[in-house]
Amino acid sequence: MLLSLTLLLIATLQGAASLGGAMQGMEEAIDIQREQLSRMSEFLGPVGDPEAPKKDPQAPTVTFSNPAAEKFFVDGTRIPEVKFDAGPSWSGLMPISGDPNETRKLFFWFWPTNNASNTKDLMFWTNGGPGCSSLEGFLQENGPISWSWGQAEPTLNPWSWTNLSHVLWVEQPVGTGFSQGTPNITNDDQLAAELTGFLEQFLEVFSELKGNNFYLTGESYAGFYVPYIANWIYEHPGLDLTLKGIWIADPSLSYGVIQQEIPALRFAQANKNLFPFNSSFWSTLQGISDSCGYTDYLDKFVTYPPAGQLPLPIATNGTFSVIPSCRIHSPIQRAINVLNPAFNVYRVSDTWPNLWSVWVSPVQLRSLSISIGPTCKMPFTRLIYHGALAPTGHVLPNVIEKSVRTVIVHGLADFILVAEGTRIAIQNMTWGGAQGFQTPIESENFLVENMGIYGNMHTERKLTYVEFYFSGHMTPQFVPWASFQTVSYLLGHQDSPSSG
């Protein structure tokens, strides 16, 4: 930024005499950059400014009478590296059962809402993986303290979800992050039972939260976790919370062939400036796409309403996985990694150099070069490619029917899971008495306040689907303004996710 400004200034001085009209454009560009910078400092607020007036600490919007809550209390003025008062919160390890000898304990961080009107709501967040730490979400996506890619130090997050609700970040299942105990589960129903056990213990200590409205949210592999947990809670009444809805971002919902292979070539073609392949490679890819049944799949089968159940393409040869000669997503990723060493499959617009990060870095998403703790490790054996287990089969439909609102969002710059694949999964799902959306997902109808058109959306039979411009996989990190609005809609604060 500084360098380019300097170069522009030098160019302006050198060329002022001879270039005349052309320079006017450059000067204007610099002015526009200044406007952009001032808009950005409005986002970031006075945090870190030593001249800023000190505010009196805000009284917590909830307090807990059970003495057992005290040992979890975190003083927001004493969080290492955080130079502002982050407010009160509660964190620690909670067993997943009432057995006094229970060794399995989940690590949580509970933050009360900063808005006294929102204390009847509780939101749960989990990252995916499986096995990714939910502190990734807390620190880099939707928490009150933001220490994201390229940030030298933590700042207050103006789009923290704690503005909307109490929020509970949980590292689950057993085996994930700072959680303790030996993992022994083998499917997502057992995971849901563990989590429900944790919530029961949590409510014994933080009993003022009993009876609250409850919302389950998460991203990526939480496309499995969250519907399974919600389904479990609906099917096993007894938890003293009123589950009202779920929100899943860039979710795993189906097989790799659906969410990666079929839409991969169209994605690369639509983002050609970021996938500048040579023509011989483009024709190799086209050949794979044609012979494996990808090329016309979306136009032919993903219709509104769908004509019937969607077939698996010839690429799977009657199974749920793709034969080696029909792999197209990996060859594209491998080739672009060579041309763009900073290529990030989680946000394809990243270019050289890659950003520094204290926590999960853009490229080494699963590496061990992390200063705080392990970020992702496989906590249990999963069988996600088994057709019966995909949440779109019966679990997610049941959750949509029993919930007030279900929101699925997807970033249009995500290549680890592709938005058009999520459209396939939705169109092949039957809920509320019909298969798929009956009318098309509109274009350009999702608006963000003060910004304008920010994507596409559609709602039918209590399911809302929103696609975000600019966003990679971690939507609350990349377009927090857009994610925030969809969560506000989930909670019933607005009638539509769109501001317009």
Ligand X SMILES: *[C@@H]1O[C@H](CO)[C@@H](O)[C@H](O)[C@H]1NC(C)=O
User: Among all residues, which ones are annotated catalytic?
Assistant: 220, 414, 473
Beta bridge partners of 214: 122, 243
- Listed in sequence order, the DSSP H helices in 129-182 are 135-137
What gap in Å lies between CA 322 and CA 155, rounded to an integer?
A: 44
Indicate the pairing of strand 405-411 with strand 463-468: parallel
- Stretch in the footprint of ligand X (CB under 6 A) among 30-38, 134-142, 224-232, 305-313: 305-313
The footprint of ligand X on residues 424-453 (CB under 6 A) is 424, 428
Number of residues located near ligand X, criterion CB under 6 A: 32
- Stretch in the footprint of ligand X (CB under 6 A) among 315-323, 368-376, 461-469, 471-479: 315-323
**Of 250, 292, 294, whose CA–CA distance to 409 is shortest?**
250
Interface with ligand X, residue 278, by CB under 6 A: yes
Helix axes 262-270, 279-292, angle to 10 degrees: 150
The footprint of ligand X on residues 125-184 (CB under 6 A) is 158-159, 163, 184
Interface with ligand X, residue 100, by CB under 6 A: yes
Nearest-approach distance from CB 92 to ligand X, in angstroms:
21
The footprint of ligand X on residues 409-428 (CB under 6 A) is 424, 428
Residues in CB range of 160: below 8 A, 6 or more apart: 114, 142, 143, 144, 146
Nearest-approach distance from CB 275 to ligand X, in angstroms:
10
Interface with ligand X, residue 65, by CB under 6 A: no
**Which of 180, 190, 286, 303 touches ligand X by CB under 6 A?**
190
The residue (of 306 and 375) whose beta carbon lies closer to ligand X is: 306
Interface with ligand X, residue 357, by CB under 6 A: no
Nearest-approach distance from CB 386 to ligand X, in angstroms:
12
Residues in CB range of 494: below 8 A, 6 or more apart: 485, 488
**Of 207, 133, 126, whose CA–CA distance to 169 is shortest?**
126
Residues in CB range of 471: below 8 A, 6 or more apart: 347, 411, 412, 413, 414, 478, 479, 482
The total of other beta-carbon atoms located within 10 Å of residue 365's CB is 18
Interface with ligand X, residue 484, by CB under 6 A: yes
* Centroid of chain to Cα 294: 27
Interface with ligand X, residue 335, by CB under 6 A: yes
The residue (of 105 and 358) whose beta carbon lies closer to ligand X is: 105
Interface with ligand X, residue 322, by CB under 6 A: no
Determine the Cα angle at 353 with ends 351 and 358, to 5°. 110
DSSP 243: E
Give the binding site for ligand X (CB under 6 A).
Answer: 99-101, 114-115, 117-118, 158-159, 163, 184-185, 190, 254, 258, 277-278, 280-281, 309-310, 312, 317-318, 323, 335, 338, 393, 424, 428, 484, 493
